[in-house]
Structure 1
Amino acid sequence: MSPPVALDPARHGALRFDAAAAGRGRAIAQLGRGEIAVAACDMPLCFAKDGGTGRFNLVALMALGGDNLFAGAGGFHATYMPQAVLLGAFRLAEGGSGLAIDPADASLGARGAALVEGGAATPLVLELRDALRRLVEDVAAAHALAEAFAKHRLLRPWRLVLRRADAREHALDGLYTIDEEALAALDAAAVVALHRDASLAAAAVIAASRHQLERLRQLHDAAHPDARIVAGELPRDD
């Protein structure tokens, strides 16, 4: 990732956006609340705690300690591409087109849809800007969801370990998942409150998505047959 620069029709007239190339090099994607059900079709969902703010971010895992396992030469091989991945080359900006770009992102180059034509931004730029604004709102909704889960003590550390063929181990730290025991122990008032705003359903999907860890392992082993791994969840440390 390089520092974003404002999209300038004069400087970036030849630049194109290849959505299929998005995601290369990204091991984790922040999610909006509205993405939970679709992202869980392929990826383990969990929460990562921001060390600076203490806020829990809803994320999708797309790798096991390496490169994105869904992004390859032939495109993005998953049922759904998270919006933060699709839009990873762009940022909202003041003035001009309202968009800034990361020139080093894999999705920007000589292939794909034009961002500039005839010396002016194309309608695609407006679509990308609107999509970014919707994502910002959806991520805020995901933060509110995480706060509700934390309030009801429904988050617990998700302790993952990768065991390689040479017996080396690598832990993936700093992740949190739904505490299903705490979920089952909620009182009636909490259950009703979480059900009414669809948080209960979201918790169930996030908890179930942990089993997509096996899909990541399969993708890893297919891509690295000489470096197979065993991925597992360590016992709870209560």
Structure 2
Amino acid sequence: MSNPVLLRNVEHKDLKIMPGRGTRFGDGEMMSPTFPAEFRNVLAHYPIVFRETGNAQRYEPVALFGFQGGENLFATADAWDALYVPMAVARQPFLMGLSGDSLLVHVDLDHPKVSTTIGEPLFLEFGGQSDFLEDINSTLLALHQGLQSNAGFVAALLEYELIEPFTLDIELNDGSHNQLAGFSTINEEKLAALDGAALERLHQPGHLMAAYLIVASLTKLRELIERKNQVAAVHG
């Protein structure tokens, strides 16, 4: 269970954030939301796919870390095995909350990285924010703005029917069969068949490049399968 509250310098003057990564620090999820401005960094390590949102936007892009709920093939108990950690993960245990038109920082007091004894302080001894919290504020703002940009990106792809569901059947080295289902990706044939006017409309706001980055990221599925093989070999 999470316990997000508005971050206040008086109430939370003693809060600290443990800097570690890994499953014992809350990094056990199989995916995290991402956005076009982050795609270049994300595809260095992770496949990017779409999941259904259940709201008017219909889809959102996510970075994939595993093949089933609670599986992060990049995380051990005490480490994250990739140079780049997506912003939606890196910002934990913080989140943005809306109060009227204002964006305010909240903190999940029940998150395993929160402490009052060890870690990075959030506030200075005599008031004011620490450099660590300033960096978190910047990350949260970039994440908020990036996730907001997904609506226009997804709408443009849907206009040209470029999002299609896909299923990935996986046979591991030990002979076991797995399946990744319930996600969508870019329809490459329709993307390649777009006429000049459509390409220009997608190119101007950066949607065309973002679509091709998603296509390119799918090569990382092979690496994700190999990580699954390594885990299966250890526990086999």
Range class of TM-score, shorter chain: 0.7 to 0.9
Aligned residue runs from structure 1 range 137-156, under 5 A: 137-156=145-164
- Deviation, structure 1 residue 133: 2.0
Aligned to 1:34, which of 33, 37, 40?
37
Q: Which amino acid in 2 is paired with 1:51?
A: G
Aligned to 1:197, which of 182, 193, 205?
205
- Is the counterpart of residue 183 in structure 1 residue 191 in structure 2? yes
Contact 1:99 1:129 (8 Å CA) reproduced = yes
- Deviation, structure 1 residue 14: 3.5
Task: Sort the Cα spacing of 1:128 and 1:226 in 2 relative to 1 into closer, same or farther, 3 A.
Answer: closer
Task: Sort the Cα spacing of 1:76 and 1:7 in 2 relative to 1 into closer, same or farther, 3 A.
Answer: same
Distance between the aligned counterparts of 1:60 and 1:214, measured in 2?
14
Give the corresponding residue for 1:236: none
Contact 1:6 1:99 (8 Å CA) reproduced = yes
Task: Sort the Cα spacing of 1:86 and 1:118 in 2 relative to 1 into closer, same or farther, 3 A.
Answer: same
Give the corresponding residue for 2:104: 98
- Deviation, structure 1 residue 41: 0.6
- Deviation, structure 1 residue 91: 1.8
Q: Which amino acid in 1 is paired with 2:190?
A: A
What SS does structure 1 have at the residue aligned with 2:157? helix
Give the corresponding residue for 2:124: 117
Give the corresponding residue for 2:135: 127
Deviation per CA, 1:122-179: give whole Å up to 9, x if none.
2333432332122111112122111111111111102123446786654433211010
What SS does structure 1 have at the residue aligned with 2:62? strand
Distance between the aligned counterparts of 2:168 and 2:71, measured in 1?
17
Q: CA RMSD in A?
A: 2.7
**Could you state the TM-score of these two structures normalised by the residue count of structure 2?**
0.83
Distance between the aligned counterparts of 2:235 and 2:159, measured in 1?
41
- Deviation, structure 1 residue 111: 3.8
Deviation per CA, 1:71-96: give whole Å up to 9, x if none.
2344322131111001131122459x
Deviation per CA, 1:86-112: give whole Å up to 9, x if none.
1131122459x9321112323323443
- Deviation, structure 1 residue 19: 4.0
Contact 1:156 1:177 (8 Å CA) reproduced = yes
- Deviation, structure 1 residue 24: 1.1
Give the corresponding residue for 1:61: 64
Q: Which amino acid in 2 is paired with 1:191?
A: L
- Deviation, structure 1 residue 196: 2.8
Contact 2:172 2:229 (8 Å CA) reproduced = no
What SS does structure 2 have at the residue aligned with 1:72? coil
Contact 1:23 1:68 (8 Å CA) reproduced = no
Aligned residue runs from structure 1 range 66-81, under 5 A: 66-81=70-85
Deviation per CA, 1:40-73: give whole Å up to 9, x if none.
0100001111124352111100112142222234
Contact 1:18 1:107 (8 Å CA) reproduced = yes
- Is the counterpart of residue 3 in structure 1 residue 3 in structure 2? yes
Distance between the aligned counterparts of 1:68 and 1:167, measured in 2?
21
Give the corresponding residue for 1:15: 15
Contact 1:23 1:76 (8 Å CA) reproduced = no
What SS does structure 1 have at the residue aligned with 2:215? helix
Contact 2:173 2:229 (8 Å CA) reproduced = no
Contact 1:19 1:86 (8 Å CA) reproduced = no
